Amino acid sequence: HKDGSPLYTEVTVSAIIDDAGDKTGTVSVIRDITERKFTEQKLQRLTTYLEEEVKLKAAELNNIFERITDAFIALDNNWNYTYVNKKAAELHNRPIEALLGKNMLEEYPDVANGEFYEALCHAKETNLAKRVQLYYSKTDKWFEDLIYPSGDGISVYYHDITDSKKAELALQRTHEKLSYHINNTPMGVVEFDEDLKIIQWSDRATQIFGWTKDDLLGDENLINTMVYAEDRERVAGEIRSILQKDFTGGFTQFRNYTKDGRVIYCEWYNSILTDDQDKVIGIMSLVHDVTKRIEIKKELEEAEVKFRSLVEQSMVGVYIIQADKFTYINPRLEELTGYTSEEVIDKFNIFDVVYHEDRQLSDTVISIMQTNDAELSPKWKEKYEGHIPTREELFKEEVFSALNYLKLRKIKKMIIENQQEMLHPLPAEDMLLLLQTHQHLKQMEIELTRQLGTVIYK
């Protein structure tokens, strides 16, 4: 251009021919294309820039996919691999190049019959992202898959969760075992929150009290509902102490109401529940109905009073021996022997006071007195009930009463020892064994108090 600026032109040149067919000149048509040329140059530069940007972004994305710990694959709509990162290739145990462009269903035919393919199809049909946890039996591994469908195909992020899943399953099995023990233990299991609202209420608790969990969910004052009126103040104080961690032991016994209005005696074994900050969030309790035991204890105490009243006024001597030593002699035996109870109890054994000219008979009598192997004759009531005509028969009845008393005391001692063991924290199996032992001892105690008759020694 005259002003010195570049000028881009497009020139079309045509020859001029005369009548004789000779070339006599040229005709040129010149068109200014400067603006178009500048536009093409700009477009070229932009295209080059965009290609470089795409390459740069692609490299960045590839770098990201390679650096993430999750495996990542991309599939087109025909289930062909379009992208596989390094982690995915490791999990497939194949190089990346061996998978790209290959069909997933052809490379892994078993996939078509599995949950993974089913999850892919569901995500594609619904066009919704999907998260699934799947188990692969061939490798004995669990994976969590994050599936993202799109118009061009489907992308999947997945990672190995085997360790955490196995821990979760182990915890689940432990919870199932605990639930089994809770539902089958002879003790009721009750969980309260810090406001004494019911959180958990086992089937055994329903059997003891009659209420179901739903019956008590809306109750605003469980103490008034469940606790005997005269025991409420003490129980409320104990609960406050538990929630404030101001208690030395979690065991307590008090009277409860049942749904049908009965009053029962229950033992409660309480433990506090805390959160991560050690704040009390509730109470877990084991409850045992001991009404029968309390009633039997009262009967035993009454029987003991009656027994002592009987032997204290008896016309024959009566004594009790435990661990080869006298533990009791009645006033009549003191008169007969000249010894006082202080001189005899815990000091003499049977050999110190029994004498017979026939030493063999004496030893036999002594061994009979010391044996613990005894049973009651079913004929006693037929022969002796309501009829004590002789001094010998009266002596037999009093001996029976003394021995019966001894056995009851032994059983009572075993029951107390068994209960003391139950106060310790024990595995559920050991606690169940102690409860079974307790029930067996109680049954023996009940049977013994109901029986009358002679004592047969073997």
Q: Give the C-alpha separation, 172 to 175, whole Å.
A: 5
**Structural domain count, the chain:** 4
Q: Where are the beta strands (DSSP E) in 18-63?
A: 23-32
Examine residue 176 and state whether it is found in any structural domain, yes or no.
no
Query: Based on the domain organization, do 78 and 199 belong to the same domain?
Result: no
Examine residue 1 and state whether it is found in any structural domain, yes or no.
no
- With CA atoms as reference, report the closest residue to 240 among 212, 267, 270, 214: 270
Q: Quick check: 454 pLDDT over 60?
A: no
Reported as a single tens digit per residue, the pLDDT across 6-50 is 777 777 777 778 777 788 787 777 777 777 777 777 777 766 666
Question: Average pLDDT of 233-239?
Answer: 91
Residue-range definition of the domain harbouring residue 40: 9-60
Task: Please say which residue of 38, 60, 82 terminates a domain.
Answer: 60
Query: Based on the domain organization, do 145 and 87 belong to the same domain?
Result: yes
The CATH number covering residue 72 comes to: 3.30.450.20
Query: Based on the domain organization, do 408 and 352 belong to the same domain?
Result: yes
Examine residue 2 and state whether it is found in any structural domain, yes or no.
no
Examine residue 84 and state whether it is found in any structural domain, yes or no.
yes
Amino acid 255: pLDDT: 94
What percent of the chain has a predicted confidence (pLDDT) above 70? 78
Examine residue 109 and state whether it is found in any structural domain, yes or no.
yes
Mean pLDDT of the chain: 79
Distances in Å between the alpha carbon of 267 and those of 44, 363, 419?
Answer: 91, 47, 11
Reported as a single tens digit per residue, the pLDDT across 412-437 is 888 888 888 888 777 777 777 788 78
Enclosing H/E stretch for 11: strand 9-17
- With CA atoms as reference, report the closest residue to 400 among 311, 328, 339: 311
Query: Based on the domain organization, do 218 and 143 belong to the same domain?
Result: no
Reported as a single tens digit per residue, the pLDDT across 71-87 is 888 999 999 999 888 88
pTM over 0.85, yes/no = no
Query: Based on the domain organization, do 352 and 407 belong to the same domain?
Result: yes
Query: Based on the domain organization, do 360 and 283 belong to the same domain?
Result: no
Query: Based on the domain organization, do 86 and 54 belong to the same domain?
Result: no
Query: Based on the domain organization, do 299 and 277 belong to the same domain?
Result: no
- Whether 285 and 184 have beta carbons less than 8 Å apart is answered as no
Q: Quick check: 368 pLDDT over 90?
A: no
